[in-house]
C-alpha cells in the first residue's frame, strides 16, 4: 500500500481579481484565502495510488506536523483501514519540507503516536529538495481539484469542501473531503530525549530521507 501526499497548500489571499463581466465584478481572494472572519484554509491531501482515491483534510488553523499526521489519521479511519484491513505497513511518499519535512522533529513524534495507535509500520520516503513536483499527488489529485474549481469564487469553507469533494476524472478518481476546525498551535518544541525515543530505523541510502517508524512495545 502506498500513499502520496503533499504539504499543506494554501489557496486564495488578499489579492483580488474580476470574475464577472465588465461593469459587474465580483471580488474574490486568491492564494491564502484570508477572510478576516474565517482566516486561512489549508487543504492537506492524501492520494492512494492503488485505488485512485483522494482524501483532503481542510484545516482552518496552522499548518503543523500535528495537523499533517492528523490528516493521515483521518484518512486511515475514514478510508484506509476499511480498504486494507490486513495491512501491516504504510508507505508514505512526502515532500522534503513543510509540516511533514524530513527535518521536522514533531513530524516523527506524531508518526510514532500514529504507529502505536494502529500497529502499522510507517515507512516514509521524502522527495529530495527541488523534486517535490515529481510527487504523483500533484498530477493525479491536486491538478484535477484545481481544474474543478477553476473560475469559481472560493468564498466560504462550504464551497471549498464541496468543490474538492465533487472532483472526479474519466479514469475513476474520487475524492472525499472534510473540514477540520481543530486548533494546531505552532512552536511546539521536541527535545533530544523525546526524539531518541522514536522507534526509527533509517535506510542505508539517505537515511535522513528514507526511514521506517515502528510501533513501540508496551
Domain locations along the chain: 2-213
Q: What is the pLDDT of residues 128-175, one digit of tens each?
A: 988 877 788 888 998 999 898 887 877 888 999 999 999 999 999 999
| Cα distance between residue 41 and residue 43, in whole Å | 6
Does the domain formed by 2-213 have CATH 3.40.50.170?
A: no
Q: What is the pLDDT of residues 39-94, one digit of tens each?
A: 678 899 999 998 999 999 999 999 999 999 999 999 999 999 999 999 999 999 99
Question: What percent of the chain has pLDDT above 90?
Answer: 63
- Of 20, 110, 24, give the one whose Cα is nearest residue 64: 110
**Closest Cα partner for 33 from 44, 42, 20?**
42
pTM for the model stands at: 0.83
Diameter of the chain measured on Cα atoms: 67
65-75 and 105-118 are packed helices; what angle lies between their axes, rounded to 10 degrees? 30
Model confidence at 207: pLDDT above 90: yes
Amino acid at each position: 500500500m502506498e500513499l502520496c501526499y503533499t504539504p499543506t497548500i494554501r489557496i486564495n489571499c488578499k489579492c483580488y481579481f474580476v470574475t464577472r463581466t465588465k461593469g459587474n465584478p465580483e471580488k474574490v481572494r486568491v492564494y491564502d484565502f484570508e477572510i478576516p472572519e474565517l482566516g486561512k484554509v489549508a487543504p492537506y491531501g492524501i492520494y492512494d495510488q492503488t485505488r485512485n482515491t483522494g482524501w483532503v483534510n481542510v484545516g482552518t488553523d496552522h499548518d503543523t506536523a500535528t495537523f499533517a499526521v492528523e490528516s493521515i489519521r483521518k484518512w486511515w479511519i475514514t478510508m484506509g483501514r476499511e480498504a486494507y484491513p490486513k495491512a501491516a505497513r504504510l508507505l508514505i511518499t512526502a515532500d522534503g519540507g513543510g509540516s511533514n519535512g524530513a527535518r521536522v522533529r514533531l513530524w516523527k513524534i506524531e508518526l510514532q503516536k500514529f504507529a502505536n495507535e494502529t500497529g502499522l509500520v510507517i515507512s516514509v520516503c521524502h522527495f529530495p529538495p527541488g523534486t517535490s513536483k515529481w510527487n504523483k499527488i500533484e498530477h493525479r489529485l491536486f491538478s484535477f481539484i484545481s481544474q474543478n474549481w477553476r473560475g469559481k469564487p472560493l468564498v466560504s469553507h462550504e464551497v471549498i469542501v464541496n468543490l474538492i469533494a465533487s472532483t472526479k476524472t474519466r479514469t475513476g478518481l474520487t475524492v472525499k473531503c472534510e473540514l477540520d476546525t481543530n486548533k494546531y498551535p505552532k512552536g511546539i518544541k521536541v527535545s533530544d530525549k523525546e526524539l531518541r525515543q522514536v522507534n526509527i530505523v533509517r535506510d542505508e541510502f539517505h537515511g535522513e530521507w528514507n526511514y521506517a517508524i515502528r510501533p513501540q512495545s508496551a
